[in-house]
A = this chain, B = another copy of it.
Amino acid sequence: MRAMPQPSAPRRTTGRPPRISREQVLDTARRIVDEDGVDRLTMRRLATEIGSTPMALYHHVSNKEELLVLLLDDYAARTLRRPRMPDRPRERVVLAAATIHEVLAACPWIVPVLTADDLMAASALWFVEQIVDGLVECGLTPERAVHGYRAIWYYTAGEIVVRTTAARRRADDDRPTYRERVFADLDPSETPRLAQVADHWAPLTAEDTYMEGLRALVDGLLATR
């Protein structure tokens, strides 16, 4: 059973005194990511730069994934600024989601974290509150409002994950993917619409249409069918 001390747990008096702290680990990790990107963040390098050994880190974070979660929370806490909220609740929902999206989309290294967990960073809770509250004020029951928030989160996380990974793919490897080849020689008699837009497909899918989709989703959630 691993210890995993709380960030501000009272100092233990017993046992070997720690030479490194979780804060130190996070600070160094953040610097490495800032300077060289998340790909260069390895447990060995992190340990070396701290002046310790890889396995020592595991007494301060339970594994690399949790380290990334903590980094994201830290990033969100530093970057997320609460905007002035509009009066109309529907616009509050849109603005809260858009703000979260804007901040997350700006740091592509969060992708594994996004897939790993819900957005429960302490600093993001206020935005979740705004979304749920806005939906309730528009007439949804609290239950449906939570479901609505989930839908917004799925859409937001999916947009970031799919888009960022596709972009990284193109950057890593300029050969056309298998999927691109499939799309290139599609059969116009089977899929006439796709054949029709095939030439514009790449630029069309490269456009940033997050806001349009978000507004559509919120509209649909609030429409009384």
Q: Which residues of A contact B (CB under 8 A)?
A: 66, 69-70, 111, 114-118, 120-122, 125-126, 128-129, 132-133, 136, 142-143, 145-148, 150-151, 153-159, 161-162, 165-166, 169, 177-180, 182-183, 186, 190-194, 196-197, 200-201, 204-205, 207, 209, 212-213, 215-221, 223, 225
Contact = CB atoms under 8 A, between A and B. Distances in A.
A13 to B, nearest CB: 25
Query: Interface of chain A, helix or strand or loop or mixed?
Result: helix
A34 to B, nearest CB: 22
Residue of A145, A186, A194 with most partner-chain B CB within 10 A: A194
A96 to B, nearest CB: 12
Contacts of A122: 182
Contact of A162 (B111, B153, B209): B153
Contacts of A212: 147, 151
9 contacts: A69-B178, A118-B166, A120-B179, A136-B193, A147-B209, A148-B213, A155-B158, A161-B161, A219-B225
Given A70-B178, A193-B132, A197-B132, A162 B154 contact: yes
A197 B128 CA distance: 12
Contacts of A177: 69, 117
Contacts of A148: 213, 216
Residue of A125, A126, A129, A217 with most partner-chain B CB within 10 A: A217
Contacts of A161: 115, 157-158, 161
Contacts of A213: 147-148, 150-151, 154-155, 217, 221
Contacts of A128: 191, 194
Contacts of A154: 155, 158-159, 162, 213
A182 B115 contact: no
A145 B205 CA distance: 11
A194 B66 contact: no
A166 B117 contact: yes
B116 A165 contact: yes
Listed from nearest, the 9 A-B pairs whose CB atoms lie closest are A158-B158, A220-B220, A216-B220, A151-B213, A120-B179, A154-B158, A219-B220, A129-B191, A154-B159
